[in-house]
Chain A
Amino acid sequence: MSDYNFAYLDEATKRMIRRAILKAVAVPGYQVPFASREMPMPYGWGTGGVQLTAACLTPEDRLKVIDQGADDTTNAVSIRKFFQRTAGVAVTERTREATIIQTRHRIPEAPLTEGQILVYQVPIPEPLRFLEPRETETRRMHALAEYGLMHVKLYEDIARNGEIATAYAYPVKVQGRYVMDPSPIPKFDNPKLSDCAALQLFGAGREQRIYALPPHTQVVSLDFDDHPFVAAKAPHACDLCGDAASYLDEVITDDAGGRMFVCSDTDHCATHRATGHAGRLGGTEGAAA
């Protein structure tokens, strides 16, 4: 560990990132440019999130890293190991015990609390990019709060699909001001963005942007009066823990079309089973875990 500065980045870089974070917290939903550093992992693997985490970590922190809700996927494991090695911090898989949670594409099911920081990995921070490729123009639109184009995107969705088919990275308006891309979380998670007790930080490494939702920020998903936002999920209960309210992944189990639905949040599923709950297939083996 002593071969590295604490949490890999040098102190000047961390200060630079913290200044960007402070600005982002002061202007919720606004994309703050920052001088993203080369990290020892490729873009698309969470370099933005990793830099935020590095800038926030203290030796007392307990870090949790998830990818699509799971602690045990390659991406999550390698980022967790990275900080164990470069910062020597404690790690955990339990949402409740973590002080910093770095995530890709999910918000944990367990309500977050004051004092926790949720760090998102963001591929494309600009929600207007899809319809307006010019950065000069999108910046002006944000500055003037000209967001008609965002609804054009939703209009196109309904015209094509009969409903708002956007299921991930569903655009939101922050505190009545900035329109923000919540990163590719399922829209099921959108309501959890709002009035969250934890500090939420978003980092895009390749695009060099940081934005933030301070605790208890109001976040509203965009929609139409006659096509209101719905936080959809698969209409099933988890086959392992039986929870009907958590977000599910569909898993194909054999070549004959067999499938099961399981919680995408692995910690939530394990915790639920540990308290005696069981799903269609989960029962005893889960309760023992």
Chain B
Amino acid sequence: MTGAHPLLSVRDLTKSYGTRRGCADVAFDLWPGEVMGIVGESGSGKSTLLGCLAGHIPPDTGRVVFDTRAEGPRDVLAMAEPERRMLARTDWAFVHQNPRDGLRMGVSAGGNVGERLMAVGARHYGQIRAQAVDWLGRVEIAADRIDDKPRQFSGGMQQRLQIARNLVTGPRLVFMDEPTGGLDVSVQARLLDLLRGLVRQMGLSAVIVTHDLAVVRLLADRLMVMKDGLVVEQGLTDQVLDDPQHPYTQLLVSSVLQA
């Protein structure tokens, strides 16, 4: 099953907000272990696309086919809601730009990490806690912070906690919307390092939305450039960045170099 099909196969994906285009005619394949970056200016449809992929936003048309563990490729959009939500808390992960959207601020760090385990039936407190400690360690949060609430954490720590909370069930596909947005440059660098390590270790596939071409260079094997809801260019990251074909991509790359 694994390897024979793309992990995620997207075709004709379109979402409009009334007459305004969110994203249109998006198509791509993501293979196991691959990381794809999505770049584009504000309002170009990156979050809309990610939301459609992750099942948060119902698209108007299109197919999102995921290679499920049990049954092979399935159209996620045609799944019943319970099945899709089960997928979302087991095989998928979603890291929000704002940790507030991805964490339960009133629940301790350990409870945040343990939630997905409990949601899939873990009923042994000691084991849940041990796994939470393990995951806090992997995202470089000291074990003695396990009973602290996220609001007692710095922005970078909150983001790392969000990552631990998402990865604890061993997902295969991670969606991230600007995971380093709003953080200091040095904190960003550390988070990126961490993400890169986890992606490699766990063999994760990921779709990462970002403004930041440095993030893309560091993490993404492939790159998709969006403008006005359309994909204007996609390909291997190095290729696209070093030899951009579309005028908009050329502008994007040169403007970053100048900045």
Q: Which residues of B contact A148 (CB under 8 A)?
A: 89, 115-116, 118-120
Most buried by A among B110, B118, B120: B118
Contact A131 B118 (CB under 8 A): no
Query: A residues 113-156 with Cβ under 8 Å of B?
Result: 131, 144, 146, 148-149, 151-152, 155-156
- Given A146-B119, A148-B116, A225-B124, are A131 and B107 also a contact pair (CB < 8 Å)? yes
Q: Is the CB of A158 within 8 A of B111?
A: no
Q: Kindly provide the distance from the CB of A269 to the nearest chain B CB, expressed in whole angstroms.
A: 37
B124 touches A155 (CB 8 A): no
B126 at the binding interface (Cβ < 8 Å)? yes
Q: Which residues does chain A contribute within 8 Å of B123, judged by CB atoms?
A: 151, 224-225
Are A226 and B124 touching (Cβ within 8 A)? yes
Count A-B pairs with CB separation below 8 Å.
52
Provided the pairs A131-B106, A144-B82, A144-B85 are in contact, do residues A152 and B124 lie with their beta carbons within 8 angstroms? no
**CB contact list, B126-156 vs A, under 8 A:** 126, 128-129, 146-147
Most buried by B among A148, A149, A152: A152
A12 CB within 8 Å of chain B: no
Q: How many angstroms between the C-alpha atoms of A148 and B88 in the bound complex?
A: 14
How many chain B residues have a CB neighbour from A under 8 Å?
A: 24
Asked if residues A159 and B124 are in contact (CB atoms below 8 Å), the reply is no
Q: Does B17 contact A (CB under 8 A)?
A: no
**Known A131-B104, A159-B111, A159-B147; contact A151-B126, beta-carbon cutoff 8 A:** no
Question: What are 23 A-B contacts defined by CB distance under 8 Å?
Answer: A131-B104, A131-B107, A144-B81, A146-B119, A148-B89, A148-B115, A148-B116, A148-B118, A148-B119, A149-B119, A152-B111, A152-B114, A152-B115, A155-B110, A155-B111, A155-B114, A155-B125, A155-B128, A159-B108, A224-B123, A224-B124, A226-B124, A226-B125
Q: Given A148-B116, A225-B124, A225-B125, 20 more contacts at CB 8 Å?
A: A144-B82, A144-B85, A146-B85, A148-B115, A149-B119, A152-B104, A152-B107, A152-B111, A152-B115, A155-B111, A155-B125, A156-B111, A159-B108, A159-B146, A224-B124, A224-B125, A226-B124, A226-B125, A226-B126, A227-B125
